[in-house]
Amino acid sequence: MKTKSVATLFFLMICCPLGGQESDPVIRWATLAPWEFKVTNNIVYKKANGYDCKLDVITPGERSIVRPTLICIHGGGFVAGDKEEASLVGLPYLAKGMNFVNVEYRRAPISLAPAAVEDCRCALRWIYEHASEYGFDVNRLVLRGASAGGHLVLMTGLVTREAGFDNECIDDGIPDPKVAAIINLFGPTDLSALLNAQPPKWYVLRWFGSVPNQAELARQLSPVTYVHKGITPIITIHGDSDQSVPYDQAIRLEEALRRAGVPHQLYTVRGGAHGGFSQEELLKIQDAIFTFLKQSGVL
């Protein structure tokens, strides 16, 4: 069954009984916010191979106010998942007064690599182009993604037009879009290592399919390839017992960022697997993210 839309979820939040509890700041916000939020779902930001690439926009109030904006890209191993699965990711950021943009892209069953990267770059360009319409502060854009989404936010925030992934985007005349920070939750960072692993990681094989020159493509689609001095600050959250995306992927990125002198943080979840962290750990992670965003000048 299709996941409920963001608007429906917010409606349920205010209609479900709260057990007669006294109103506290969190409940007050959760009760009043849905009436203030401006929600637009399924905006088509790009058409490719007969597929409509869509995104949702939520602003915590009137869109005439310019706000920092979180851009969320969902995971799913490049082959599955949809933006609806990440609908509630934006709640902590909306509570901080940020806009929320939830992006969908072509997965492997629709188009093989590098289509997902091309789509996400076009989504970022769409956000720049429509900044005045929705109140996006282009100087305070933040990318956030988990697993394959972590890889995609890294690629979206690190590459430039010269990498060749923007060719399918509308020629909007804007310079290379930049973001203020990247939140990478256990995303692949070196696809060459994953492709050459024994056995190779299944999601890389599925995403690449039968495309030629896979070794070169893996290099071109590896975030570590684009690390250099002056790039966007990055915070990475990764469990050191992750079997799906090995913890070594976070280490590879951290070492490259350190050598380049890029502001960054590696938050290691001791004993953590591929997500599924405890509630206590999730709260610590969110605190670390907000602290990082403050240090990066977003909040």
Over residues 26-49, the pLDDT tens digits come to 888 888 888 999 999 999 999 998
Structural domain spans, the chain: 38-295
Domain spanning 38-295: CATH 3.40.50.1820: yes
Examine the pLDDT at 13 and tell me if it is beyond 70.
Answer: no
Residues whose CB falls within 8 Å of the CB of residue 199, separated by 6 or more in sequence, listed in order: none
Strands (E) across 170-218 are located at: 181-185
Over residues 130-157, the pLDDT tens digits come to 999 999 999 999 999 999 999 999 999 9
Q: Can you give the pTM of this predicted structure?
A: 0.92
| 3-21 mean pLDDT | 46
3-state SS assignment for residue 151 = helix
Omega cis (within 30) before 92 = no
254 — phi, psi (to 5°)? -60, -40
Angle, helix 115-129 to helix 148-158, in steps of 10 degrees:
60
Omega cis (within 30) before 34 = no
Strands (E) across 95-205 are located at: 99-103, 136-146, 181-185
